[in-house]
Chains A and B, each alone.
Chain A
Amino acid sequence: MIGLDVGSSTAKIVRIEDGEIRYEITGTHKWRDLVEGIEKEDIISTGYFRHSVPHKASVTEITAAMFGAEYYFPEVEVIVDIGGQDTKVIDVKRNNFIINDKCSAGTGAFLEFVANYFKIELNELGSLHERAKRIPHINNTCGVFAVSEMISQLVAGYSQEEVVAGMHYAFARRISFMIPEAGTIVLIGGTVKNKGMVSALQDILKKEILIPEEPQIVNALGALKYYSG
């Protein structure tokens, strides 16, 4: 049995062999490569394309995230899944699912937009943040407005590292509005690899945030766990 998560930008497959989690990640358009030679009857699918890929059973990415996060942290109360196109906050205890889907603010697309504009690699944002000495205040999380604010701060004398850190704070503030009071918060999704963003969020929420070893495969693993119990 395998868990297959086909989302809007990447596809992930997870299997458990001798108690060890094995996985592969590829671009969404290459999802077929992941399941080559695997029978439909052995696939539990999740993610945006869960209904379109072959599967024995499918489960929403919300439920999959709950099962996946619980595998790593059984005491999880709130899951924050920062994806490329949307950000989901799953209140496990109260069964409330908040999805930020109105605009790119607070999603991976925002970080990508900013990185592109300043010609920085997406995965460099985190390390730039770490080198910041001061953190300028940036109000806007609308991509376009944030960029003009960032430029103003650069003109005002802040370094690129500092302006990136300020942007991460603005981003994290936006997400923090969606997060309810909770003891244990687990962060998943590809954007979690950005350490600057994670430390800004921890600082704003004033609490430790738990991150699974492989935050990107949590949903594929969760789909598998959901089915196999």
Chain B
Amino acid sequence: MPKIGITALVPPELIFACGGQPYDVNNVIPASKKYSKNKLCAWTAIWQEMLVKREFGIDSLIVVAGGDCHNALVDGQKAAMSGIPTHFFFYPFDGDHKYMESQLYSLCSFLGDIKYPEKFRQIKELKKAGQLIDKKRINGKISSAETFRILISFSDLWGDPDKFKRAIATVQENDIEINNRIALIGVPPIYHDFHDIAQSLDLQIVFDELPYEFVRHTGTGISEVARDYCDYTFARPLDFRIEFLQKELEKRKVDGVIHYTQFACHHMLEDEILRNRLDYPMLTIQGDLPGKTPEQIKLRLEAFREVLERS
């Protein structure tokens, strides 16, 4: 099975249906201890360097360019220039599903067409199970660290849906005391222990914005996938994303919002708008290099808990 690198959300159901094995190049970064030369955002810089050095063992690459990240667009081209067969995938900013459909068809021809249509349904079922885990976490039945590890893996399902399904089935339920319900918005933190650290400071993350997108979108065929993934909030105008966030945060009864931003990432520019439009106490933090959560960020998290305790 050819191993297909992806740089952000690309419908994994389609890759599996075309006989490929998706591999999210971001997932190894937080625990990688890698530092890269010449970098803006560490995420793209590190995967770019690893791709050029052939450290992933992938056969081809899909770069999510349009509607997501220009750093990825440039670093993806560097990987392509090094000789990796690469396809550039563009989400529609305006949610035009006809356009999305055409993008999915051209992705299909890059991958060599659909061979296993039953994969669509299989992944849809798994995503339902993922949503259930997310729901249990909201109700304090599964820890946020565990939930995060699962949701974030839905971008590629470890390249093996059967193995992934077994792993999901063994998730242990607990009774977790929830004192401070936190929504974590923005791109995921580059620190591998962030959710555990938040929990140790009595902040329970009940919403992970981007990983939730990984279980929210699916479909049983190209046209359904096109319609559904058109609503991928990160690719759409801010108003669209904020409206979605407002509903989601209310549903999850959050007490406070942590906005994680990444050094040299354009999403930082959204902070002011999010602060104005989301009516919750909000803490903004910025990460740069992968590894453990730094002390200065822990200090801010703890101070934020003190704010929530007083409000």
Contact = CB atoms under 8 A, between A and B. Distances in A.
Contact of B302 (A60, A86, A95): A60
Interface stretch (B45-53, B95-103, B215-223, B303-311): B303-311
Given A94-B282, A96-B275, A99-B300, 4 more contacts: A60-B299, A94-B275, A95-B282, A95-B307
Contacts of A62: 299-300, 303, 306
A61 interface: yes
A102 B289 CA distance: 12
Interface string B270-295: 00000100000111100010000010
Interface string B240-251: 000000000000
B170 interface: no
Contact of B296 (A63, A94, A95, A99): A99
A63 B299 contact: no
Given A63-B307, A94-B275, A99 B281 contact: no
A95 B304 contact: yes
Nearest to A92: B307
B197 to A, nearest CB: 14
List 8 tightest A-B contacts by C-beta distance, closest first.
A62-B303, A60-B303, A63-B306, A101-B296, A95-B307, A60-B302, A97-B300, A95-B281
A13 interface: no
A70 to B, nearest CB: 12
8 contacts: A62-B299, A62-B300, A63-B307, A86-B296, A94-B282, A95-B281, A95-B304, A95-B307
A153 B65 CA distance: 47
Interface of B: 275, 281-284, 288, 294, 296, 299-300, 302-304, 306-307
A97 B298 CA distance: 12
Contacts of A61: 299
Among A61, A86, A99, A102, find the residue whose CB has the most chain B CB atoms closer than 10 A: A99
Nearest to A63: B306
B283 A95 contact: yes
Interface in A68-97: 86, 94-97
A149 to B, nearest CB: 26
Nearest to B310: A63
A105 to B, nearest CB: 15
Contact of A63 (B282, B283, B288, B303): B303
A225 to B, nearest CB: 13
B284 A96 contact: yes
Contacts of B288: 102
Contact of A96 (B283, B299, B302): B283
Contacts of B304: 95, 97
A190 to B, nearest CB: 19
B173 to A, nearest CB: 31
A11 interface: no
A198 interface: no
Given A95-B283, A96-B283, A99-B299, A60 B306 contact: yes
A71 to B, nearest CB: 16
Among A95, A97, A99, A101, find the residue whose CB has the most chain B CB atoms closer than 10 A: A95
Nearest to A61: B299
A165 interface: no
A60 B288 CA distance: 23
A97 B283 CA distance: 7
A94 B280 CA distance: 10
Contacts of B275: 94, 96
A85 B70 CA distance: 35
Contacts of A94: 275, 282
B99 to A, nearest CB: 38
A188 interface: no
A217 interface: no
Contacts of A96: 275, 282-284
B60 to A, nearest CB: 37
Contacts of B294: 101
A124 to B, nearest CB: 31
Contacts of B303: 60, 62-63, 97
Nearest to B304: A95
A174 to B, nearest CB: 17
